Amino acid sequence: MKINREELAWAAGFFDGEGSTTVQRRDKERKSDRPVMSIQQTGTGEELFRFLKAVDDGKIYGPYKRKNPKHKPFYQYMLIGFNRVLPVIEKLWPFLCSDKREQAMSTLINTDTKGIMNENPFPGY
């Protein structure tokens, strides 16, 4: 698949504003912690589908109804696992703001069980 830098720049901006990279704790010993990229969006989910197309990995769930019937349903983009999150962050890296870069680095370092992050895959960081 050909990488469209313009779409990746858009995706990074969207992720900067709406997304997060967090650690999913699976046990008390933290041996199986996993990084998670997620974005929650109210409405039709069109932006999430554009994001998914740009990064070429992950899944969109929903629509989910809210408790209050006056509120619109929401969709959620999710990507779980070190070997899947790292390549997507690498694609977005040149366009991410410093806060999202720090959040992603912290999450990836805390879930790296193979020492991959010791080599710092992100130029300029």
Tens of pLDDT, residue by residue over 34-67, are 999 999 999 889 999 999 999 999 999 999 999 9
- Both structure tokens of 52: 């998914």
pTM of the model: 0.89
Domains in the chain, please, with CATH?
5-109 (3.10.28.10)
Q: Give the pLDDT of residue 113.
A: 83
Q: Give the pLDDT of residue 101.
A: 95
Q: What are the start-end ranges of the H helices in the chain? A: 5-18, 46-55, 82-92, 98-111
Q: Give the pLDDT of residue 123.
A: 66
Q: Give the pLDDT of residue 28.
A: 65
Q: Give the pLDDT of residue 124.
A: 65
Bridge partners of 77, per DSSP, are 39, 60
Q: Give the pLDDT of residue 116.
A: 85
Nearby residues of 117 by Cβ (< 8 Å), 6 or more positions away: 105, 108, 109
Q: Residues in the chain with pLDDT < 50?
A: none
- Both structure tokens of 88: 């997507």
